[in-house]
């Protein structure tokens, strides 16, 4: 039999049900893989006991003939999800040692579906970053390397870079991610895996450390589209504890998966052809257009005229919400407290936040505080919210002409660690293709579609109408079937 860690979510679930192996064997295999991959720094906390407990329960259930949706399947959990009794830090010193007394709704749903947890995955601090260089627990390193013989450590993407690195290295079969402006899709593209951000409101935000509440949305990351569909079904659903949760039934996305795109119109937004985009990205996009045509879709050009304003609007709205959300880290209720000799309450707040937040988090809090401050609120924040309305209207107009959109996921392949972190603005520009759909709350997915000249993965993005996760998954599957992406990083860790 092939190594268990070569199997994805569906293969583990089905093999466990068929009696090919026990859940305990699966948990042991992945626990060993996690323990043997410390060089990737993908985990902040490893939880082998959690995975084993879930596996032993699954094995007992199987002996009684009962199976849950994810019985036998262990996964990685991004450290942004509160997990009861297990340190949850959002990769920040300010939450170091924090052990929640409660479980996030998404993780609770996954455990209720039978999944076990291999550990808490490293990430950009408070999900702020596109390279995993802002974690207080060190950079995550991509398992991929350029084929030029150099060993430059590469960014796994961000913010869900621990998730993407661990899946690409096959030390977890799947993981949770969260996406505020592209934090599932961009790391998926950088590491040659799949990931979907569902419609805003599909997954409860309750118990997820908040970054920008009107944008944050959890989603799955896995090796292929079907595995994403399985995980997304288990994560989604109405939660009365989240006021923005959608009170709608969860469709059976897995059973309705089909790569047949006949009758579908796929839009190509002309504004996504940005200056300076590498020819390889453009060629991949053309290839993607050919693939969806081959799957039966009709391809039409569409216009999203406010695309160029999406990033600047995002970098007002997200920091504004972050500055408000992160006000709760005050050194009183949980996490770090810095109390200089003789300090009063205000000094304690300022000292705690200075010591606990990383540089990028401070930068965004300051931008957010500035754009919300008296005299600037209308010029920046209200204007950005109006532009956001226009960006959402662009998509509404596009849906008059097409059912889905196809774009590249990121403007480049993975860059080397350290290459962009001196210039925050250059880093922000990496999210140019993922941010507009986030601002509009739409479901969007990245699937691996090819390799660049340096042997690094490139992704294509499918964007759908609100609530049309099925359409997005189906187009993703059509691309996956045609791309035949089987490349994987050679183990060096």
Catalytic site residues?
78, 159, 183
Alpha-carbon torsion angle 432, 44, 59, 56, nearest 10: -160
Site for another protein in 115-144 (CB under 8 A): none
Backbone dihedral angles phi then psi of residue 127, each to the nearest 5 degrees: 65, 20
C-beta closer to another protein: residue 121 or 318: 318
Cβ closer to another protein: 20 or 96? 96
Measured CA distances, 489 to 67, 170, 195, 236 (Å): 33, 9, 18, 31
Chain centroid to CA 362: 22
The answer to whether 296 and 261 have CB atoms below 8 angstroms apart is yes
Residue 101 as a binder of another protein (CB under 8 A): the answer is yes
Shortest CA distance to 90 belongs to which of 271, 307, 328? 328
Cβ at position 107, least distance to another protein in Å: 18
* Residue spans of beta strands (DSSP E) within 104-182: 116-121, 174-179
Considering the complex, state which of residue 312 and residue 455 has its C-beta at the smaller distance from another protein.
312
If one asks whether residue 334 binds another protein (CB under 8 A), the answer comes out as: yes
Distance separating the N- and C-terminal Cα atoms of the chain: 24
Which of 189, 196, 225, 246 binds another protein (CB under 8 A)? It is 246
Give the CA radius of gyration of the chain: 21
List the one residue from 274, 351, 455, 470 that touches another protein (CB under 8 A): 351
- d(CA 404, CA 463) in angstroms, rounded, equals 6
The nearest distance, CB 440 to another protein, in angstroms, is 7
Contact status: 251 vs another protein (CB under 8 A) = no
| 379 scored as a contact of another protein (CB under 8 A) | yes
Residue 314 in contact with residue 181, Cβ under 8 Å?
yes
3-state helix, strand, coil in the chain (%, to 5): 40, 15, 45
Does the protein bind another protein through residue 35 (CB under 8 A)?
no
DSSP state, residue 381: I
Pair 214, 384: CB distance under 8 Å:
no
Binding region for another protein (CB under 8 A) out of 19-27, 274-282, 351-359, 408-416: 351-359
For the bound state, the minimum distance from the C-beta of residue 465 to another protein, rounded and expressed in Å, comes to 11
* Residue choice 63, 151, 255, 346 for contact with another protein (CB under 8 A): 346
**Residue of 350, 455, 470, 482 interacting with another protein (CB under 8 A):** 350
Residue 253 or 357: the one with the smaller Cβ distance to another protein is 357
470 touching another protein, by CB under 8 A? no
In the bound state with another protein, the residue whose beta carbon lies nearer, of 102 and 492, is 102
Q: According to the binding rule CB under 8 A, does residue 330 interact with another protein?
A: yes
């Amino acid at each position: 039999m092939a190594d268990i860690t070569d199997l994805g979510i569906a293969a583990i679930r089905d093999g466990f049900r068929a009696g090919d192996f026990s859940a305990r064997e699966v948990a042991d295999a992945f626990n060993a893989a996690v323990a043997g991959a410390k060089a990737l720094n993908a985990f902040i906390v490893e939880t082998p006991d959690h995975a084993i407990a879930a596996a032993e329960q699954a094995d007992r259930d199987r002996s009684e003939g009962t199976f849950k949706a994810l019985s036998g399947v262990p996964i990685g959990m991004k450290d942004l999800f509160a997990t009861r009794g297990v340190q949850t830090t959002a990769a920040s010193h300010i939450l170091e040692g924090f052990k929640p007394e409660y479980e996030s709704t998404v993780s609770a749903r996954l455990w209720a579906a039978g999944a076990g947890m291999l550990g808490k995955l490293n990430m950009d601090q408070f999900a702020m970053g596109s390279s995993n260089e802002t974690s207080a627990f060190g950079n995550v390193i991509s398992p991929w390397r350029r084929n030029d013989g150099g060993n430059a450590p590469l960014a796994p993407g961000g913010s869900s870079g621990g998730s993407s690195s661990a899946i690409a290295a096959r030390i977890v079969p799947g993981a949770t991610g969260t996406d505020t402006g592209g934090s599932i899709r961009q790391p998926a593209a950088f590491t040659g895996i799949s990931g979907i951000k569902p419609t805003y409101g599909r997954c409860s935000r309750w118990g997820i450390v908040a970054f920008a509440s009107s944008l944050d949305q959890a989603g799955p990351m896995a090796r292929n589209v079907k595995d994403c569909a399985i995980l997304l079904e288990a994560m989604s659903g109405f939660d009365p504890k989240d006021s923005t949760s959608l009170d709608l039934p969860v469709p059976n996305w897995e059973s309705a998966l089909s790569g047949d795109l006949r009758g579908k119109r796929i839009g190509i937004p002309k504004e996504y052809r940005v200056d300076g985009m590498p020819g390889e990205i453009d060629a991949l996009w053309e290839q993607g257009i050919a693939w969806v045509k081959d799957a039966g879709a009709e391809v039409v050009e569409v216009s999203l005229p406010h695309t160029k304003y999406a990033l600047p609007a995002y970098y007002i709205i997200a920091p504004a919400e972050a500055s408000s959300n992160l006000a709760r880290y005050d050194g009183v209720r949980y996490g770090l407290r810095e109390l200089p000799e003789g300090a009063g309450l205000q000094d304690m707040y300022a000292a705690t936040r200075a010591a606990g937040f990383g540089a990028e988090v401070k930068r965004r809090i300051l931008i957010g505080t500035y754009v919300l401050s008296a005299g600037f609120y209308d010029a920046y924040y209200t204007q950005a919210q109006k532009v956001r309305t226009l960006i959402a209207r662009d998509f509404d107009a596009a849906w008059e002409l097409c059912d889905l959109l196809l774009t590249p996921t990121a403007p480049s392949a993975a860059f080397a660690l350290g290459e962009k972190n001196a210039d925050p603005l250059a880093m922000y520009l990496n999210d140019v293709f993922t941010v507009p759909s986030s601002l509009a709350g739409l479901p969007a997915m990245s699937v691996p579609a090819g390799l660049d000249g340096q042997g690094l993965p490139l992704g294509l993005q499918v964007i759908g109408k609100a609530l049309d996760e099925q359409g997005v998954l189906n187009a993703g599957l059509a691309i996956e079937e045609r791309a035949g992406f089987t490349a994987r990083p050679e183990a060096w860790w």
